[in-house]
Every structure is written in structure tokens, then in C-alpha cells.
């Protein structure tokens, strides 16, 4: 199957695109669309995280769960929303921690695209969702695909920082070789859990400390 994705990722992930589980994802999405159902993000943005951050440029992986399920919010990047869309509560808390940790001013946009061009892969575990129905596509095979993405990054690269916020993300820790990568864990930035270990985690500065220690350019977190 010819998936439109950045060439470096295409090379790394190509075997997945012909596997039964992936063909089933494609069949499912086509069936849902033909039935008139609204799916986020738009088809052209399903692989936006990969196209924004080429495989060869990845240095940080920020793992989210599934796309935002409200109109205009999802654009294929975990935790991010397009310009002009108010930052959802979890993203507001991410910005609060960013300010506390680094001293940077609170951003005027919820669009995290400037991070992606610096090697931050904003990866959701499930790449699509039905409108107004969180986690609705979590059993459709996306988990198998993104597990393989994490596994390939771990195997083929070194000195990557994995940011695992919340129990769900931390379940992916077993896919990562911690002898050559850094895993940073904290509570999820959701209003329900941010005060249970996300606030004060200092993951933004810790990420840059690790990158610089390994001769890698730090991330400019300013938006």
C-alpha cells in the first residue's frame, strides 16, 4: 500500500503498510467515511507528525493518547491545536509547567508545530478518532502501528528523549531500550492529575540537559 509519508519514515515503516492489521485500519476508515461519519484529524493530516518531523531528525518523542475530538482541534500532532483554536486544559497545564520550568512566557498559540521542526515527534498512540467520541478508534489497530514506531525509533536511533506523561504513555516504556535513551515520566497534564506529579517535573529543562550532554542541539521551547 502506498502511504503518503515522509521518505525516511516510509523506509523504516514500509513493511507495516502491507500487514493485515494496517489494511484493516484503511478499510475501517473508508467504511466510516462512506457512512458519513466525521473523523478527526482530516485524512491529509493523519500522518502529520511524521511529515513534520522526519525520521532522521527525531530527538524527542512526546507521546499522547488519541486526537482531540472537537471540531477544528486535531491536526495530527499530540497535544497541539491549530492557530486560532483555544488551548484545551491539558495543553494549558503543559504551558504552565513550561513557564515554571524555563521562565518562558505563556504562549499565545496552542500550535506546537515549531517544536516538530526541531525534532520533537508529537505522536499520538491512536491516529484517528470519531467526532465527539474519545478513544473510539483505540481498538482499530493503530496501537500496533505506533508501538512499532516507538520500537523502531528505540532500535535504530540513540540518545532520544521519551516523554511519557500519564499511565497510558508509561505502558509504552517496555518498548524503549533505556540503555541508550532517556525516559522521563510524570503524571498526565490533565486537570484531573497535573497536581499529582506533572507540575514540577521540569521535563523541558531536563530534556535539553540530556540532549546537550550528548552533543545534540537543545529544543527552543518558545512558541
Active centre residues (catalytic)? 66
Cα separations in angstroms, 90 against 15, 143, 168, 180, 193: 35, 22, 15, 30, 10
Extract the C-alpha cell encoding 206: 531536563
Among 61, 74, 49, smallest CA distance to 136 is for 74
Q: DSSP letter at 53?
A: S
Label residue 75 exposed, middle or buried (CB < 10 Å: 0-12, 13-18, 19+). buried
Cell numbers 530527538 correspond to what residue? 59
Amino acid at each position: 500500500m502506498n502511504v503518503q509519508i515522509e521518505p525516511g519514515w516510509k523506509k523504516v515503516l514500509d513493511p507495516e503498510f502491507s500487514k493485515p492489521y494496517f489494511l484493516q485500519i484503511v478499510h475501517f476508515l473508508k467504511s466510516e467515511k462512506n457512512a458519513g461519519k466525521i473523523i478527526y484529524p482530516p485524512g491529509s493530516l493523519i500522518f502529520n507528525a511524521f511529515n513534520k518531523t522526519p525520521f532522521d531528525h527525531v530527538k524527542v518523542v512526546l507521546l499522547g493518547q488519541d486526537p482531540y475530538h472537537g471540531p477544528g482541534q486535531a491536526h495530527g500532532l499530540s497535544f497541539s491545536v491549530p492557530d486560532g483554536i483555544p488551548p484545551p486544559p491539558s495543553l494549558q497545564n503543559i504551558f504552565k509547567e513550561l513557564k515554571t520550568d524555563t521562565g518562558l512566557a505563556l504562549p499565545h498559540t496552542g500550535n506546537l508545530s515549531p517544536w516538530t521542526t526541531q525534532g520533537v515527534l508529537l505522536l499520538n498512540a491512536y491516529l484517528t478518532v470519531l467526532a465527539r467520541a474519545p478513544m473510539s478508534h483505540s481498538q482499530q489497530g493503530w496501537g500496533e502501528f505506533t508501538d512499532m514506531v516507538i520500537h523502531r525509533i528505540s532500535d535504530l536511533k540513540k540518545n532520544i528523549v521519551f516523554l511519557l506523561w500519564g499511565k497510558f504513555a508509561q505502558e509504552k516504556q517496555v518498548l524503549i531500550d533505556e540503555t541508550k535513551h532517556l525516559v522521563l515520566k510524570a503524571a498526565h497534564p490533565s486537570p484531573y492529575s497535573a497536581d499529582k506529579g506533572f507540575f514540577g517535573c521540569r521535563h523541558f529543562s531536563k530534556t535539553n540537559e540530556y540532549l546537550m550532554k550528548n552533543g545534540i542541539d537543545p529544543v527552543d521551547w518558545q512558541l
